[in-house]
Structure 1
Amino acid sequence: MNTQLPQPYGWNNRYRLFGSMLALAALGGMFFALKTVVAAAHGHWATAGVGAVSTAIFGIPTVWIVLMFTGRGRLRTSVDGTGTTLALAAGIRWLAVWFGAVLVAVVGYLVFGSQMGGEFPDVRARSSAFFAVMVVGAVLGLGAMVRAGRRPRPALRLSAAGVEFHDAVTAFTLPWTDIVNITGTGVEGKSLRPIIFWRRGGEPAVIANASLYAPNGAALFWMTRYYWLVPAARGELGNGVAVQRLRAGQFPAG
């Protein structure tokens, strides 16, 4: 079987997707790195310290994006004899933490950046409304950090009985016999890298982004279709064979 599985029809091009994410993270890191150097050169060590932390905060997702883009992220699975469970990638689980940290870093930068007068805008004097928005955002971000640590990890489970899924916004359980088709497109607003389960006599159930549960999202899509189409092979979901095939991308694209 071909380990270079094709992208399902309708999926966004991952090169464009990850490229834009990488560009944003890298630009943020370079911006704060430059400001750190300028602040240090002028002896403004509080600003330089905040800038250095901000640079690191933007650098962390840059590394994660590269790992996701190259398909080298860690596959988090567990097999219990009846099925295979795939957990949300750790990097995504802590995305809320990163977002909160970015907001806090930006607020800190704006506060201490005012030391440098003309080189950094004095937000307290010139843009108090913007500063207030950033402070509120930082508080909300910190709240998101706490919630992310307490919330059960989103997961996808495939077993001989069917499909179970839950994340922060949706949850569903579908017997294989209730599924009439599995596609990568067809639901408005779900165009990233979804797995869409079309069920008999009901609304489709959607996993918004397969790549959040396996480094090779396309392999996970074709794996799901395979066990839907081939009931006789579903025993592999309980003995670890399905995970081995997922790692190797050994599923037919069809």
Structure 2
Amino acid sequence: MSVLDLPDPDEWRRSSRFAAAAIVACIGVALAYLGLGAAASTCGDYLTLAVTIGFSAFLILFASAVLLIMLGRTTSRTVSDATGFTVWPDRRTTALILAGSVAAIPSLLVFVVAAPLGAIEFAQTRALQTVWAGAAAVALCTVMYGLLLAWRRGGIGHVKLTPAMIENVDVRSERALEWDDVVDVAAHAESRRAPRAVVLRLRDGSEEIIGMADIYVPGGAGLYWLVRHYWKHPGDREELVDGRAPKRLAEGKFDLST
């Protein structure tokens, strides 16, 4: 069975509706911002135009990344060596997310500086000039910190499996845990909403969530069944360091029992 033909877990059925709604919302807000900025520029308000261009670019690039994921137009990137089997996010999706984040930085910076001075058209009230400016400052620091971490880690995240460990890395954190600590591999998180997630339920009652499985493998089901297979079959884990894991993933040869 091809990895593209693997069945989705039942818990994932509604995630496509959420992705479609996110795309529509992002495009709608981006167009509204562009219209606002264009109108402001006719009056010589180029600071507002600069802010809206950056915000719109971020939203459009983010929506494009989500669209690629939703349509299954992603490509698996894997590395198999003596240290383990690593799955990386799709290259194009990663580029869109990073480009959108970079595009947002100048706009956030302009907004943080200019909004409190009343120089941004859509932030004329005192509350917007203070609360929004503060929120933008937090967002600016978050984006810059996330980009720094992405640069240091060589990407926005990865999942690495070894015979002994599972490593889950994203832009926020880096976590590693032993297979023996995992009591179940599920497709639904109890602690928070996580569409198309691979959820490792741990012996201490907590959960480790590998989010957005479809950014790693088209559709995401391949990553779910990959992790679940090696959790259920410890005897197969040597494949993770001897070069056989990529073939198993490509052919979708996993234990699909629940």
TM-score normalised by structure 1 residue count: 0.74
Query: What is the CA–CA distance in structure 2 between the aligned matches of 1:157 and 1:129, rounded to whole Å?
Result: 43
Query: What is the CA–CA distance in structure 2 between the aligned matches of 1:20 and 1:179, rounded to whole Å?
Result: 34
Out of 198, 203, 206, the position equivalent to 2:205 is 203
Q: Note if 1:11 corresponds to 2:15.
A: no
Deviations 1:206-252 (A, max 9, x none): 22413344343211111122223344543433344432443454534
Stretches of structure 2 that go unaligned for 5 or more consecutive residues are: none
Deviation at 1:138, TM superposition (A): 4.8
Deviation at 1:72, TM superposition (A): 2.1
Q: What is aligned with 1:214?
A: 217
1:182 maps to a residue whose letter is V
Q: Note if 1:37 corresponds to 2:38.
A: yes
Deviation at 1:26, TM superposition (A): 0.9
Tell whether the 8 Å contact from 2:109 to 2:137 is kept in structure 1 after alignment.
no
Gap change, CA 1:135 and 1:100, over 3 Å in 2: farther
Gap change, CA 1:163 and 1:143, over 3 Å in 2: closer
Query: What is the CA–CA distance in structure 1 between the aligned matches of 2:119 and 2:199, rounded to whole Å?
Result: 52
Tell whether the 8 Å contact from 1:160 to 1:237 is kept in structure 2 after alignment.
yes
1:246 maps to a residue whose letter is L
Match runs of 1:95-114 below 5 Å: 98=100, 102=104, 105=107, 108=110, 111=114
Match runs of 1:170-185 below 5 Å: 171-175=175-179, 179-185=182-188
Match runs of 1:225-244 below 5 Å: 225-244=228-247
Deviations 1:68-122 (A, max 9, x none): 1122224232111352112355656995884685475266469489669xxx345
Deviation at 1:41, TM superposition (A): 4.1
Q: What is aligned with 1:192?
A: 195
Match runs of 1:13-92 below 5 Å: 13-81=14-82, 83-88=84-89, 91=93
The alignment yields a C-alpha RMSD, in angstroms, of: 3.8
Gap change, CA 1:115 and 1:4, over 3 Å in 2: same
Gap change, CA 1:194 and 1:49, over 3 Å in 2: closer
Deviation at 1:12, TM superposition (A): 6.0
Tell whether the 8 Å contact from 1:96 to 1:148 is kept in structure 2 after alignment.
no
Q: How many residues are aligned here?
A: 249
Query: What is the CA–CA distance in structure 2 between the aligned matches of 1:174 and 1:180, rounded to whole Å?
Result: 11
Tell me whether 78-87 or 2-11 shows the greater mean CA deviation.
2-11
Partner SS state of residue 55, structure 1 = helix
Partner SS state of residue 10, structure 1 = helix
Stretches of structure 1 that go unaligned for 5 or more consecutive residues are: none
Gap change, CA 1:247 and 1:69, over 3 Å in 2: farther
Tell whether the 8 Å contact from 2:162 to 2:240 is kept in structure 1 after alignment.
yes
Tell me whether 159-168 or 101-110 shows the greater mean CA deviation.
101-110
Partner SS state of residue 5, structure 2 = coil
Partner SS state of residue 25, structure 1 = helix
Tell whether the 8 Å contact from 2:111 to 2:133 is kept in structure 1 after alignment.
no
Query: What is the CA–CA distance in structure 2 between the aligned matches of 1:121 and 1:32, rounded to whole Å?
Result: 10
2:158 maps to a residue whose letter is A
Deviation at 1:34, TM superposition (A): 1.4
Tell me whether 133-142 or 220-229 shows the greater mean CA deviation.
133-142
Q: Percent identity?
A: 21
Partner SS state of residue 161, structure 2 = strand
